[in-house]
Amino acid sequence: MKRWLLLSSLFFLFFFQANAAESISNSSIHWGFKKGSDGKQAEAGEAYDNLLEKYGAFYKGNAKDKVLYLTFDNGYENGYTEKVLDVLKAEKVPAAFFVTGHYLESAPDLAKRIVEEGHIIGNHSWNHPDMTNISDEKIQEELERVKEKTAGLTGQTEMQYLRPPRGILSERTLKVTREQGYIHVLWSLAYKDWQTDQQKGWKHAYDNIMAQVHPGAVMLLHSVSKDNADALEKVIKDLKKDGYTFKSLDDYMLREKIKNPIMSY
């Protein structure tokens, strides 16, 4: 009897774990995590970590290195990207800017400047849809339009970094985009900065960033935020004083030994 109860318990444990994993792989994921604090890394949990690793996706780097990866989402221009670029140039900090079709069409000169000054343009899709609700073919079209427009405007012909619109993904979208040569770049540091009518001053941005920062952080800031633009110089200088360095996503690929996005699973 005891043996039967033990076997039954093991079976139900296995069944629950298998179904939990299947649920994660089949469902739409609204990206989220437990925020970092006191220099400790943010954590998304083992199930998400395993899913992202399967497709070469990432949201943070090595916990032992005080290295940061600065990224911006540029859905549209709100008058602050120029100031952001000025700060990055003065502080010699590389960044990645994930752009939409709207941004490329409405702010072509800024897109050109981003590449001219050594930063990376990443793909944020043409129309910013929830990619879990569109077909594989539509996903390809969304991404290809951004890549082609970027190449025509800036001369950046290669594009391998993707940030999913709205932070929504699934195993299908991870697989489809990986097949197209893309790696999902998520994030481990962010705050509610995109609401342009609820800006609270540079210190609000500064405090939110500094409270969450941790070794290996992939930092997500929205370029539409005045608070971010006003806080960025002090954020960078103070983090440098604290021993952090800023590296590009290309450097991340080398440090973390992630292979080029070729099907390997």
Q: Is 222 a catalytic residue?
A: yes
User: Rounded to a whole number, what is the distance in angstroms from the first to the last CA of the chain?
Assistant: 43
Nearest to 56 by CA among 169, 214, 215, 181: 181
Q: What is the mean pLDDT of residues 246-263?
A: 78
Residue 101 in contact with residue 145, Cβ under 8 Å?
yes
> For residue 265, is it within any domain?
no
Which pLDDT score is estimated for 27?
Answer: 86
> For residue 178, is it within any domain?
yes
Identified catalytic residue from 184, 193, 222, 227: 222
CB neighbourhood size of 172 (10 A)? 15
Nearest to 234 by CA among 257, 256, 205, 262: 205
Note whether 10 and 54 are same-domain residues.
no
CATH no. for residue 156? 3.20.20.370
> For residue 261, is it within any domain?
no
Phi, psi of 39 (to 5 degrees): 80, 0
Note whether 26 and 141 are same-domain residues.
no
What residues have CB less than 8 Å from 6, skipping those under 6 apart? none
Which pLDDT score is estimated for 172?
Answer: 97
> For residue 225, is it within any domain?
yes
Note whether 21 and 103 are same-domain residues.
no
Residue with tokens 């195993």: 171
CB neighbourhood size of 134 (10 A)? 15
**Does pLDDT of 210 surpass 80?**
yes
Residue with tokens 């994030």: 187
**Does pLDDT of 14 surpass 80?**
no
Note whether 117 and 142 are same-domain residues.
yes
CA distance 219 to 214: 10
Note whether 19 and 60 are same-domain residues.
no
CA distance 256 to 91: 25
Residue 132 in contact with residue 169, Cβ under 8 Å?
yes
Identified catalytic residue from 73, 193, 227, 230: 73
Q: What is the mean pLDDT of residues 241-262?
A: 84
Dump pLDDT digits (tens) for 17-51: 444 444 445 689 999 999 999 999 999 999 999 99
Dump pLDDT digits (tens) for 74-133: 999 999 999 999 999 999 999 999 999 999 999 999 999 999 999 999 999 999 999 999
Note whether 25 and 38 are same-domain residues.
no
pTM here is 0.88
Q: Is 73 a catalytic residue?
A: yes
**Does pLDDT of 263 surpass 50?**
no
CA distance 95 to 120: 7
- What total number of domains does the chain contain? 2
> For residue 263, is it within any domain?
no
> For residue 264, is it within any domain?
no
Q: Which domain holds residue 22?
A: 1-30
Note whether 181 and 125 are same-domain residues.
yes
Residue with tokens 């929830």: 130
Dump pLDDT digits (tens) for 152-208: 999 999 999 999 999 999 999 999 999 999 999 999 999 999 999 999 999 999 999
CB neighbourhood size of 84 (10 A)? 24
Note whether 25 and 67 are same-domain residues.
no
> For residue 169, is it within any domain?
yes
Nearest to 88 by CA among 108, 110, 105: 110
> For residue 262, is it within any domain?
no
Note whether 104 and 5 are same-domain residues.
no
Note whether 5 and 66 are same-domain residues.
no
Note whether 128 and 78 are same-domain residues.
yes
Note whether 53 and 152 are same-domain residues.
yes
The helix, strand and coil proportions of the chain, stated in percent and rounded to the nearest 5, come to 50, 15, 35
Q: What is the dihedral of CA 142, 101, 154, 160, to 10 degrees?
A: -40
